[in-house]
Amino acid sequence: MDWELQSGGAVKILCSEQNEAAKIAAHNLADDIGKVFSGKIAVTLSFSGEAHGRAGETAEDDACRNGSGTVIVIRQAELGHREAYSHSVKDGVLYIEGQDRRGIIYGIYELSRWLGVSPWYYFADVPVKHRDKAVLPGGYFYTDYPSVEYRGIFINDEEELDKWVRLHLGEETIGVKAYEKIFELLLRLGANYIWPAMHVNSFNVKRENGELADRMGIVVGTSHCDMLMRSNNREWYPWLEKKGYEDVEYDYSIPGKNRDALNEYWRESVEQNKDFEVGYTLGMRGIHDSGFETKSLKGLQGEELRKAKIELLQTIIDAQEKILSETLDKEPLKSFVPYKEVLELYDNGLRVPEDLTLIWTNDNYGYIRRYPGDKEKNRKGGNGIYYHNSYWAGPGMSYLFINSIPLAHTRNELYKAWCEGIRKVWVLNVGAIKPLEQEITFYLRFAWEVGKENPQRRTDDVDEYLKLWINETFSGNHGEKMACVLNDFSQLTNVRKIELMDSDVFSQTAYGDEATERINRYHELVRTADEVYASLPDDEKDAFYEMCLMKIHAAYYTNCMYYYADRSALCTKRQKAQAAYKYAALCREYDDRRRQLLFYYNNVMADGKWSGILTPEDFPPPRTAMFPACVVPLVPLDKIERRLVVTLWNDDEGLYFVKAAVKWLELSNAGDGELIVDLEAPEWIDILQDNIAVNRVNIRVGAEKRILVKPSQKIYDSGEKGMSDILNGSIVMHCEETGQSFDIPVSVNEKLIKMSRICAVDDGGSVVMEADRAGDMLDGTGWHKVRRLGRDHGSLLEADASAIGKNVYKTGAGFKFFIKKAVDKAVLELHRFPSLNSTGRIRAELSIDGGERILVESRSNDEWRGTWKLNILNNVDKLTVELPRLTEGEHILHVYAVDRYFAFSRIVIYTEDIKESMFGGSACGMKAESDEKLPCEGQGINVASDKVRDALYAGVKLKPRAMLVAGVTPGSNTLPDTNSVIEWNYSMEYPSYTITAQKLISMADTPFYERNGTIRIDMGAVLADNRNAYADGVWDYCLSESYNRTGIAMYIRRPGETYEADKPSLHYRIACDGGIYTLWLLMKNESYDGAELLADIDGAMLPREQLAGGERIGNYCGERVYRWIRLWRQEIPEGEHEIGIYTSSSDNRFDRIYMTKGEEMPPCDDKWKKEE
C-alpha cells in the first residue's frame, strides 16, 4: 500500500519523541507540508510517549492503521550508525526513524526537502515548490547516515551579519533570533556543529544562546584561540570588570592570583555549559588570534624558552582537563588546534592527551597544510580540519565579498584529508553565511557522504552535483547549463580573486591577450546566467540572484573595471589617445555598475530584506579591490593629431602562423573621430569580418579596432601538390586621409599547423602543454586527473597517494611538443597547483626524450615559505628549470610523480625571452574566435549589458562615495585604536565641475599660496616638474576620484615594491603667512603594511613620532580607499617653503594636500575648487 499526500486530504503526524529537538523539527515538518500544499491539506501533529520499536510493533502503529487519512510516524530505532535515519513505507504509513535525536531530525528535514522545501527557504528566499500530490510506494525503504562525525561552520568576520541582525531582527547583536534561523538551516543541511560568531559578541554572555543550541540539537564549539567555550575577544575584559579584578592578564605564565583567575574564568564557562552538548577547545593562545602570552618567561631564549613554553602549555591543558573532569558527568568532544606558534610547541614534544581531537588547518586559502602522521591517525580523539571559504587576512590579502574557490578544489582537498585520517571534525569558515549558499551546501553534503559507497552520492562529480542542485532549487530544468556556468565561473575567477585584483595582473600583450579572453569568457557566462534568470518565474528570481547571479555579475564588473583601466594605461603608452579616453570611461561605468549591484542587493532585492549584509566597499570587514588606476593622456583629445596606430599580436613585427588559430592587428585613430582604412591580405589568409572570411576589407577605425586573421581553409582544401610548407606574404594597409601605409609580414607554416593537431608547438616563443593532453597516458604512471580543477579551465593532473619517493614510477605522464628552431637555452615552467606539505617535500621529475631526469621541487611547502604569498594570489606555484639544448623537431616530455599529491595543470617551455604573463600562452585549440575580439569594439557598456541587467540596475541613482577621514579616537577591543574612519562632509551630488590635466598641472606655475588660512594642493601638479612641484624617483600618474573623477593622483605602477632607502618623493613649494599648520593628506593604499610615510619641510625630515600623532598610518580600515590622513602639525614661518612626502611602498596613491591653521576637516570634493 502506497503512502500518499494529496491536496484536499489530511495528514496525521505522530511523534513518539519527547526531546525538544525532535519536537521542533516535527513542528517545522507540519508547517512545511502546509506550505507545499498551499494550505489545502489538514495537518495534525501529536506527540506520544509510546515505546519505540520496529515497524508494525507498537500500539502507536495500530492507532495509525485504525485512523483515517495519511500518517507519518516519527520515532527512534536502532539503525547501526550515529545520526542515521530511515524512511520506510508499510501498510500505507510513512515511518521516519532515527538512531538518535539528530538522526530523527535529519529524517524529518530530508522529507521536507523531498517535498519541496529548500533548506535555504529563509536565508536565500528559495520559494517552496507546490504540489498537489506526493507518493512513496509501498515497501519503500531508504536509510542514510553521515560520514564525518562533527560537521559544521564557523561564523567569522561577521560584522555584516551583525549589522543585518540589528537592522532586521530587532536584536542588539547576533543572538537567539538569528541563531534560531541559523541552527535550523544547519540541521536542514545535515550539519550538527558550529563555532559561533566571536568578533562582535560572545556566545556565552547570554546563556539562552547555549540553551537554544542544545534544545535544537546543535553542538557548539569554539575556534583555536577561545578555550573552554570562552570567546575571549568580547568576554575576557567584561568578565574581569564584573569580577572587579585588577592587574589580571590573559597569561597563564603569571602565577598566583593571575592563574587562579584564569582557572575561575574557564571553570565558570564549563559550569554554564555542563548541561549542553558542546565541544571544548583546550590549550591557549592570545586574545583574538594573537600569540601565546608568556610574560613570566621573559629573559629565556632559544631552546630553553621553547621548553618552558611547552611545559607551561602542558600545565594549562592539565588544568583544563581537571576542570572538565571535576565539572562534567559525561565525556564531551575535546579538541586541540596545533596552529601558528602553538604548532611549533606541538612538534617539539608537547603531549596532547589521546582523547583530544587534533584540529589541523589549511592556509586560509583552501590548501591543507599537513596531514596527521601514523601515530596521530590512531589517536582515540581522532583528527579534524578547519577549512576556509572566506578569510579576513593580513594586509591586502582578505577575501570576503564572494567565494570563488572551486567546488572541485574544496572537494579534492577535503577528500585527501578524509583519506589521510581527518574524519572526526570538519569546520568551514563561511564569513557571514551569505553569499556562500552554494559552497556551504556542497561542503556539508560532501561531509555527509565522503568515503561511502552509496550509489546515490551527489558530490562525486561537481558538474552533476550542481545540475541536481539547480534543478532541485529552481524550475525550468536549467541544471546542466548552470552547472557549467557556475563551475566555469569559479575556475575562471579563482585565478585571481576579485577581492585581490590589481593593475596589470593579466597581460594584454604577451603570447596573445589573456585579459581580453578572460573578459569575453565572463561575458558569455553572464549572458547565459542572465538568460536563465529572465526565464524564471518572478518568485524564483531573488533566490537565483542571491545564490548564482550576483557573484557572476560582481566578478564580471570587477574584472571589467581592472581590464579597462589596464587597457587605458596601455593605450596611453602606445599613444592611442582616443582609445585611452574610451577605456577610462568604461572602467568608471563598470565601477558604477558594481555599486548599483550592491545597492540592488541590499535595498531592492527581496524588498530590502538583506540590507546591510553585503557591503564589500565598507569596513569592517576589510574591503574588496577598488579604484583601479585609469590613465589618459595629459593632452585633450581634440588637441591630438589624427593618425593611424597599428599594433600586432604578441607585439611582434609580423603575423607568423604555426597553429590554426586566429591572431590579430589592432588599428586605432590616435585623435578624435574615425579614419577609413583599406586592408588586403594574401589569398591564403582570411580576414574575419562579422564571422565572414574575406581577403580585402574597407573599415572605419575609431578608438580601436581589432582585425582577426587566420590561415585560410583553402590551404587544406586545395589538394594541390607541391604547395610550399611555408607561405610568405604581406597584409597591406593604407589610410588615404593620413597618407599612411603599412606592409605587415605574414607567414603560414603548413607543416607546423598540421603538427599542432597532435602536439604542442612553439608559437611566439612559448610551447604550452595542458595537463588534459596527457589523458591517454595515465595508467601506471602514478598520475590521475581531477576534473574541474585546472587553473582557469580544464583538469588537474595529480600524483597518486602511492607516490612516496624517487623512482617509484618507471613511466610518467607524457607530452609531445615540437620545436620549430633549435634553441641552446630554454626554460621550462611548470604551473603547480599550490598544495602544501609542511612536514614533507613537494617534488616531481622531468625528462626530455628519455634523457636524464631533472628534479623539480617547490620551496613553498607551507604558508609563508618560498613564494607562498604570490602563489595564493595567483593560485599557482610556477616552478622553473633550465633545459638542455633542444633540437628542431618533435620531442616528448615525461613528468614523473615523486611525492604524493604533487599536481599541475600546465607546462610552458619558453624558447625566447620570457614575457610576463599569467598563463604563458594558450594551447592549440583552447581559444574560440569570439574570445579574441575586443569586448567593446564600436560600442560601450551595452555590449556587456542587456535587458536583465538594465532592469536590475538602471534605476539605481548613485551618489558620490563618502569622503573618509582617518579617526583618532580609540576603537573597540576588536581592532587596533587607529582602525577607524569617519565620514565627513558627505555630499549628495557629484561636483558640477571637472578639470583638465593641463589646468591641474598649471597650478604649479606659481607656488601654492595660502588663502584664508588654508593651502590646497592637487598632488598631480608635480607633473609640471619645476621648482614649485617636482617628483624624485620613478612615478606614474592616474585619474583620481577628485574633480568628479577627473583629477590626477600620483603612484608607482609596480605593485608590491617597498623602499628602504631612496624613497620616492613628491615636493611642493608653498607660500604661507606663517603660523601653526595642520597638513592633511588625501591618499589611497592597497595594503596597510605599505602605507607608512616620511615627510620633510625645507629638507629637514620630521621625526616619525610627529607624523599622524605617532600612530601607524596604515590600518585595515584604510585599505583600498581614499581617505584623509592628518599627517603633521608644525609651526612654519612666513615665506616660501618646500614640503615633501616620501613613500615606503608602491602600494600608495596620492591625490591632495590640505594645510590649515584651523581645526576644521578638509573640504569634500564639491567644496574644493580653488578660489579664483
DSSP-derived secondary structure for 689-733: ETTEEESEEEEEESS-EEEEEEE-THHHHS--TT--SEEEEEEEE
Q: Considering the domain boundaries, does residue 875 fall inside one?
A: yes
Report the pLDDT value the prediction gives residue 757, as an integer from 0 to 100.
84
Q: Are residues 564 and 652 in the same domain?
A: no
Statement: residue 1143 has pLDDT above 80:
yes
Q: What is the pLDDT of residue 1025?
A: 98
Bridge-based pairing of strands 383-388 and 357-361 is: parallel
Span 1071-1116, pLDDT tens digits: 999 999 999 999 999 887 778 899 999 999 999 999 988 888 888 8
234 domain-assigned? no
Does the pLDDT at position 169 exceed 60?
yes
CA distance 189 to 799: 33
* Predicted pLDDT of residue 811: 84
Q: What is the CATH number of the domain that holds 865?
A: 2.60.120.1620
Euclidean distance between CA atoms 764 and 650, whole angstroms: 7
Domain end position, chosen among 729, 755, 781: 755
449-477 in b/e form (b: 16+ CB < 10 A) is: bbeeeeeebbbeebbebbbebbbebbeee
Q: Is residue 582 part of a domain?
A: yes
Is residue 209 domain-resident?
Answer: no
Is-contact 629 503, C-beta < 8 A? Answer: yes
At residue 635, the 3 state secondary structure works out as coil
Cα torsion 338, 341, 346, 351: sign? negative
β-pairing verdict for 740-749 and 655-657: parallel
Please check the confidence at residue 942 and state whether its pLDDT lies above 50.
no
Predicted confidence at residue 723, as pLDDT, reads 47
Q: What does the pLDDT look like over 124-149, one tens digit per residue? A: 999 999 999 999 999 999 999 999 99
Domain identity same for 895 and 978: no
Specify the CATH number for the domain of residue 684.
Answer: 2.60.40.10
Angle of helix 479-493 versus helix 462-473 axis, rounded to 10? 130
Asked if residue 683 and residue 627 are part of one domain, the reply reads no
Shared domain for 730 and 845, answered yes or no, is no
Domain at 978, CATH number = 2.60.120.260
650-680, pLDDT tens digit by residue? 999 999 999 989 999 999 999 999 999 999 9
Indicate whether 963 pLDDT > 90. Answer: no
Q: Output the pLDDT for position 1086.
A: 87
Region 623-627 average pLDDT: 97
Band (976; pLDDT cuts 50, 70, 90): very low
Q: How far apart are CA 1001 and CA 1003, in angstroms?
A: 5
Over residues 835-861, the mean pLDDT reads 96
Question: Over the stretch 742-779, which tens digit does the pLDDT of each residue have?
Answer: 999 999 998 888 888 889 999 999 999 999 888 656 77
- Tell me the per-residue pLDDT of 451-504, one tens digit each, with 9 for 90 and over: 998 777 899 999 999 999 999 999 999 999 999 999 999 999 999 999 999 999
- Residue in this structure with the C-alpha cell 502506497, named with its chain if needed: 2
pLDDT greater than 90 at residue 945: no
pLDDT of residue 328: 98
Q: pLDDT tens digits for 559-602?
A: 999 999 999 999 999 999 999 999 999 999 999 999 999 999 99
Whether 995 and 1130 map to the same domain: the answer is: yes
- What is the DSSP code (8-state) at residue 960? P
663 & 538 share domain? no
pLDDT at 981: 60
Domain that holds residue 66: 3-144
- Does residue 1018 lie within any of the structural domains? yes
Question: Is the Cβ–Cβ distance between 282 and 335 less than 8 Å?
Answer: yes
Lowest mean pLDDT among 96-110, 115-129, 1083-1097, 1139-1153: 1083-1097
pLDDT exceeds 50 at position 386:
yes
pLDDT at residue 454, as a whole number:
78
Against a cut of 0.75, is the pTM above it?
yes
679, 801: one domain: no
Shared domain check, 843 and 745: no
Whole-number pLDDT of residue 58 = 56
Q: Is the pLDDT of residue 923 over 80?
A: no
Residue 372 in grid coordinates:
596527521
Q: Identify whether 255 is part of a domain.
A: no
Question: Which pLDDT band holds residue 111 (cuts at 50, 70, 90)?
Answer: very high
Digit-coded pLDDT (tens) for 326-370:
999 999 999 999 988 999 999 999 999 999 999 999 999 999 999
Between CA 429 and CA 427 the distance in angstroms is: 7
- Smallest CA-to-CA distance from 708 within 721, 718, 699 is with 699
Structural domain contains residue 990: yes
| Per-residue pLDDT tens over the stretch 874-901 | 999 999 999 999 999 999 999 999 999 9
What is the C-alpha separation between 678 and 735, in angstroms, rounded? 7
Q: What is the CATH number of the domain that holds 513?
A: 1.20.58.2150
Per-residue pLDDT at 456: 77
Q: Are 1102 and 965 in contact (CB under 8 A)?
A: no
The predicted structure's pLDDT at residue 978: 43
Q: HSE-up of 406 (CA within 13 Å, CB side)?
A: 33
In DSSP terms, 740 is beta-bridged to 735
pLDDT value at residue 53? 47
Instruction: Please report the pLDDT score of residue 1116 as a whole number.
Output: 86
Instruction: Provide the pLDDT confidence category of residue 722 given band limits of 50, 70 and 90.
Output: very low
Model confidence at 716, pLDDT cuts 50, 70, 90, reads low
Q: State how far the Cα of 1086 lies from the Cα of 1106, in Å rounded to an integer.
A: 24
Split at pLDDT 50, 70, 90, the class of 60 is low
pLDDT in the model for residue 972 = 36
pLDDT (0 to 100) of residue 724: 62
Query: In the prediction, which pLDDT does 720 show?
Result: 47
C-alpha closest to that of 97 among 118, 79, 111, 110: 79
* Of 396-400, 805-809, 1133-1137, the least confident: 805-809
Q: Which residues pair with 903 in a beta bridge?
A: 798
For residue 992, the model assigns a pLDDT of 77
Average pLDDT, integer, range 60-78 = 77
pLDDT value for 164: 98
DSSP per-residue codes, 962-993: PEEEE--S---TTS-TT--EEEES--SS--S-
Q: Taking all residues of the chain, what is their mean pLDDT, rounded to a whole number?
A: 93
Residue 259, in any domain of the structure: no
Number of separate domains in the chain: 5
Residue 1162 in this model has a pLDDT that exceeds 70: yes
Which cell numbers hold the place of 317? 591543558
**CB within 8 Å of 545: residues ≥ 6 apart:** 533, 601, 605, 952
Residues 947 and 1019 in one domain: no
Last residue of a domain, one of 144, 177, 204: 144
Model confidence over 283-310: pLDDT tens digits? Answer: 999 998 889 999 999 999 999 999 999 9
Select the more confidently predicted residue: 272 or 951: 272
Same domain, residue pair 676 and 771: no
Instruction: Tell me: do 600 and 501 sit in the same domain.
Output: yes
Q: Is residue 837 a contact partner of residue 901, using CB atoms and an 8 Å limit?
A: yes
717 shares its domain with 856: no
